[in-house]
Amino acid sequence: MIKKSRKVRDYKELTKALPTLRYVDPEAVYIHLQNGRCKTYDLYVKEGDKVTLGEVIGMRHGGFFEQPIHATISGTVATVAKKLHRTGRKVDCVEIRNDFKNTKHESIVDRPDSLIEDLTQDEMVEIVKNRSLVGLGGSGFPTFIKIATKEKIDTVVINAVECEPYLNSDYRLILEHPDRVITGLKYIMQALNCKKGVIAIKSKNGPLYQVLTQVINHRYPELDIEVMKLGNYYPQGWEVEVFKNALGIVIPHGELPMKYGVIGFNVSTAAGVFDAIKHNLPVIKRYFTLTGDAVKFPQNYRVRVGTSVQQLIALSDGYKDGFDEVLVIMGGPMMGTSTVSDDVIVSKTTTSVIILQNTEYKEEPCVRCGSCVYSCPTNLEPVQIMNAVKRNDKEAMKGLEAFKCIECGLCTYVCTSKIHVTEYVRKAKRLIG
Amino acid sequence: MMEHQPKIIRKTSPYLRRPQASVTRMMRDVVIALLPVTIFAIYSFGMSAVTILLSAVISMVVTEYLYYQITDLISGEKFKLKNKSFSLYNYSAAVSGLIYGLTLPDSTPIWVVVMCGALGIFLAKLIFGGVGQNVFNPAAVARVIVVVNFSVKYLLHTVDIPLLESVDGLAGATALTFTNFAYESDLGNMITNVFNPAVLDNFSLLNLFTGIGIPGSLGEVSALLLIIGGIYLALRTSFEVRIPLTYVGTVFVLASVVAIQQGLGIWYPVYHILGGGLLFGAIFMATDPITSPITKPGRIYFGFGLGVITFIIRLFGAMPEGVVFSILIMNMFVPTFDYFKWSKSGFTKKSNLIFAGVILASIIVVLVGASYVG
C-alpha cells in the first residue's frame, strides 16, 4: 500500500469506557532512587525508619535534573533492592512497607486560594521544584525548568491528545478530574503571566470536550481557555504537531517552543502542578493503564507511585492462557520500552504497561514503495537512511537528516515489507550522534 | 498468584504493524488489475495470446526458480524442492512475466518469448540480487530485447513493404502510405511524425479507446480496460498514481503544444495517449515501485521525464517502442533523483523553479523539433 498513512489502529476501546480502579494501598511501594538522568543519589533514611507520606527521603543527583525523592506512602523503610527501570536498566529502589495509616508529613498542607493568587513566578518555580514534579507524560523533564522560562509566553498548551494506541490514562484523568487539570493550567498561566490557554484533545474524544467546556464555563468563565479538537492520527500528540495544528506555529528542529511564545504540558503534569501548588503534594498517585491483548482483564488504575506491576497484573487476573510468549511494554506500543521481566515498578513517568502477544513478522525485501517516506511526520526518508546504514555511509545519514527522527515508529508500522525501519534510523542516529 | 506465566520477550519499538500491508497484496493487486486486459487479449487474439502469456510467465518464473536453486547449490546448501529465496510466493516474477507477455504482439514466436523472458529476468533482476535490488524493470528489459533483436524479422513480417525502409526511412510525408502497418507494434510511433488526420481513417478514436478491432500488442489495445485496471490499483493504493498521471499528462501537454503549432485538432494529443503502449506502460510498467524514485517530488519528475522522452522518441525517433525505452532510460536516473544531497520529501521554492525551467525548456525543444519534422 503506497500511501501516506498516519492512522494507527488504537485499541483504546479495551479500557476507554471502564471506570478507574483505585489500588492505592499496596503492601509495599518501591521508590526509584536512580533514573535515566540521575545516576547517583543520597538516601536520608535507613532500614527500620518510619516515614510519612510526602516526606523527603533522599535526593537524586544529576546536575540540572537534581530532585528530591518523596515517600509516596507512610510506613517503614525496608531494604534497597535492584528493580527494572523504564529505561531497561536495573536501578536501586528503596522499599517502604505500608502501615495503612496514611499519615501525612507536616509539610503537606493546603494553600488557601488567597495565598495562591499572590504567588509570583519564582515562588511557584520553587514549590514545583521542591515537589520534584517532572513531565508525567513520559519525558520526565523537570517541570520547574519549563515554568522558570523568562521568554514571553503567549499561549500555554495542555497536551491531552494521547495519540499512542492502547493508552487511556490521560483520557480517564480528564474525565474524572477535569477541575484539577484546568486549575493546574490556571496556575501555570499565572506563573508565566500568560492570558491564553489551550487544551488539545483528539476530535473523536467528544466526552472530553463536553466535560472540559462545561467545567471551564462554570468554574472559570473569566479565563481564556480554549478546548481544541485536533486530528485523530498518529503522532498528533507530538508537541511540535500539536503546536502546528492548534496554533499554526511551526517549530523548527532543535529549537525550544518557548522561543515562539508557546509552551506545552502534559495533562498529568498540569494536574501535578495543581497538587503541588494547592495541596503542596509531590506526585504520589497516578493514572495507569494496564492493557494489551495478552492480559485477561485490561483496566485503568489509580495507583501509588512505586506500586509493583506484578501486583497489578495479578489484579487484572494475570496473563491470558494460550500465549507462550508475550511482550511487556512500558509506555505506548509505538514508542515504549519492552522489558525482560514483569518485575517493574510504576514510576512517576510510567503511563502504562501493555502486555502484547508476541508476533513474529516475516520481513520481505524492500520494494521501495515509499510508504515510510510519505508517512514520516518529520519529512525524512527512512528507507534511504536504512540503505545508508546498510552501506555505512555516514555522510548520507547526515545529509538525510537522520538526527531529526523522533522515533515515533511510524515507518516500521506502515512498512509494506514489515521491515523494522525505525531500528535502522535509530542506528543511524547513534552512528552520527 | 498467577497460574499462567508466559515467557517475556524483549524487542524494540514499535510493536505494532499495519494490518493487511504486504508485498504479496500489492503484487496480487497488479495481477487482478491486469485481468480485464488479459481476458480481452485472449478474446481478441485467441489461442496465440494464451500461449504467449503462458510462455512469458513460465519462462520468467522457471528462470528465477532455477537461478536460486543453482546459487543455493553453489553455496553448498542442500537441495530442497521449495526454495526460500524464490519469489513466486509474492507473485513478483509472475507479475513481471504477465506484463512482459502483454507487451508482445500476437505474432511473436514462442521461442522468442521464452528466450527473451528468461534473459530479461536474469539480466535485469536476478544478477542484481532479486526483488528490491533491480535497477531496471525486468518486463521492460525483456521487451526491449525482443524489439532490438527480433523486431525486423518477426514482428513486422506481416507487412508487405521493404522492412529496412520501414524502420529507418519513416520520416516526412512518405510515412502516410504506411498507415496500416504502423499499428503493428507500437501504435503511435510510426505515424505520429505526420501531422495528418488521415491516421484516423482506419481506426476511430472510439475504437482506440475501447480497443475493438485494433491490432497491436496483446495488452495495449484497450485503453478503457487499462484505465479500469489503473483505477482499481489507485483505489487499493497498490501503485503510485502520480507517475501515470504526470506521464500521460506530460505527453498530452506536449502533443497539444505541437497540435497548436501545427494547427491540428484535439484528436492529435488524444491519439497520442490512446495509441500505442503509452497507457499500458504508464499504468503497469512505470509504476513498478522498485524502479521508480522514492519521494513524491521524485516520482513526479520521473513521470515527467518519461513523458518527455516518450514524446521525443515518438516525434523524432526512428525506433518504435518509445514507451519502453523511456522507462528504461528513466530507470537509470532513479538513483540520481534519490541522491541524498537533493532528494527531499517535499517541494521547495528552488525545486519548483528548476522544474518549471525544465518544463519550459522541453516545450521549446519539442516545438523547435516539430517545426523541422513538420
Beta-carbon separation of B2 and A319 below 8 A = yes
In which band, very low, low, confident or very high, does the pLDDT at A86 lie, cut at 50, 70 and 90? confident
The partner residue sitting opposite A340, judged by closest CB among B8, B13, B133, is: B8
Q: Is-contact B33 B25, C-beta < 8 A?
A: no
Contacting residues of B for A383, CB less than 8 Å apart: 294
Give Cβ neighbours of residue A84 (< 8 Å, ≥ 6 apart): A90, A91, A339, A340, A341, A343, A344, A345
Would you say residue A321 has pLDDT above 90? no
* Ramachandran category for residue B248: left, alpha or beta (phi over 0 → left; psi -120 to 50 → alpha): alpha
Roughly what angle, to the nearest 10 degrees, separates helices A206-219 and A178-192?
60
Sequence length of chain A is 433
Beta-carbon separation of A407 and B18 below 8 A = no
Contacting residues of B for A163, CB less than 8 Å apart: none
Contacting residues of A for B236, CB less than 8 Å apart: 1
Contacting residues of A for B340, CB less than 8 Å apart: 384, 388, 395-396, 399-400
Helix (H, G, I), strand (E, B) or coil at B268: helix
Roughly what angle, to the nearest 10 degrees, separates helices B242-262 and B267-274?
140
Beta-carbon separation of B132 and A368 below 8 A = yes
The partner residue sitting opposite B238, judged by closest CB among A2, A325, A374, is: A2
B317: nearest Cα among B176, B183, B182, B167: B167
Q: Is pLDDT larger for residue A264 or for residue B107?
A: A264
Chain-wide mean pLDDT for chain A? 90
Q: What is the mean pLDDT of residues A24-44?
A: 87
Cell numbers representing residue B108 in the block:
511473436
Beta-carbon separation of B14 and A321 below 8 A = no
Beta-carbon separation of A413 and B3 below 8 A = no
CB pairs under 8 A between A and B: 171
pLDDT in tens, A7-18: 888 889 889 889
Cα nearest neighbour of B25 on chain A? A1
pLDDT in tens, B293-335: 999 999 999 999 999 999 888 887 766 568 888 999 999 999 9
Share of chain B above pLDDT 70, in %: 80
Give Cβ neighbours of residue A250 (< 8 Å, ≥ 6 apart): A240, A243, A244
Q: Cβ of A149: how many Cβ atoms within 10 Å?
A: 17
Q: What is the mean pLDDT of residues B127-131?
A: 85
Provide the pLDDT for residue B171.
28
DSSP output for A341-404: -S-BB--TT--EEEEEE--PPPP-------HHHHH-TT---HHHHHHHHHTT-HHHHHHTTGGG
Contacting residues of A for B299, CB less than 8 Å apart: 370
Q: Is-contact B181 B201, C-beta < 8 A?
A: no
Provide the pLDDT for residue B88.
61
Contacting residues of A for B240, CB less than 8 Å apart: 2, 370
Would you say residue B199 has pLDDT above 70? no
Q: Is-contact A92 A112, C-beta < 8 A?
A: no
Provide the pLDDT for residue B229.
94
Q: Is-contact A198 A228, C-beta < 8 A?
A: yes
Beta-carbon separation of B18 and A356 below 8 A = no
Contacting residues of B for A384, CB less than 8 Å apart: 294, 338, 340, 343
B332 φ/ψ angles, rounded to the nearest 5 degrees: -65, -30
Q: Is pLDDT larger for residue A192 or for residue A86?
A: A192
d(CA A222, CA A199): 16
Provide the pLDDT for residue A40.
87
- Beta strands A196-202 and A224-230, pairing class: parallel
Give A306 to chain B, closest Cα distance, Å.
20
pLDDT in tens, B268-295: 888 888 877 889 999 999 999 899 999 9
Q: Cβ of B194: how many Cβ atoms within 10 Å?
A: 21
Helix (H, G, I), strand (E, B) or coil at A80: strand
Interface test with B, best of A309, A337, A354, A367 (most B CBs within 10 A): A367
pLDDT in tens, A206-216: 999 999 999 99
Beta-carbon separation of B295 and A336 below 8 A = no
Would you say residue B366 has pLDDT above 70? yes
Beta-carbon separation of B22 and A423 below 8 A = no
Roughly what angle, to the nearest 10 degrees, separates helices B47-74 and B92-102?
140
Provide the pLDDT for residue A82.
87
The partner residue sitting opposite B1, judged by closest CB among A314, A339, A417, is: A314
d(CA B60, CA B189): 28
The partner residue sitting opposite B14, judged by closest CB among A358, A388, A409, is: A409
Strand order in the sheet with A56-61: A40-43, A56-61, A67-70
The partner residue sitting opposite A2, judged by closest CB among B9, B240, B295, is: B240
Q: Cβ of A367: how many Cβ atoms within 10 Å?
A: 22
Going along chain A from its start, the domains and CATH numbers come out as 12-106+284-357 (no CATH), 116-278 (3.40.50.11540), 371-432 (no CATH)
Contacting residues of A for B16, CB less than 8 Å apart: 8-9, 165, 333-334, 413
d(CA B133, CA B126): 9
Q: Is-contact A70 A132, C-beta < 8 A?
A: yes
Interface test with B, best of A416, A419, A420 (most B CBs within 10 A): A416
Would you say residue B32 has pLDDT above 80? yes
Q: What is the mean pLDDT of residues A128-155?
A: 88
Q: In degrees to the nearest 10, what's the CA dihedral of B287, B292, B293, B299?
A: -30
Beta-carbon separation of B299 and A370 below 8 A = yes
**What ipTM goes with this model?**
0.86
Provide the pLDDT for residue B151.
64
Weakest-pLDDT range from A359-368, B20-29, B194-203, B298-307: B194-203
In which band, very low, low, confident or very high, does the pLDDT at B153 lie, cut at 50, 70 and 90? low
Beta-carbon separation of A329 and B15 below 8 A = yes
B372: nearest Cα among B195, B188, B176: B195
Query: Helix, strand, coil proportions of chain A in percent (round to 5)?
Result: 30, 25, 45
User: At B85, which amino acid appears?
Assistant: S
Weakest-pLDDT range from A77-81, A236-240, B275-279: B275-279
Would you say residue A394 has pLDDT above 60? yes
pLDDT in tens, B219-247: 887 889 999 999 999 999 888 899 999 99
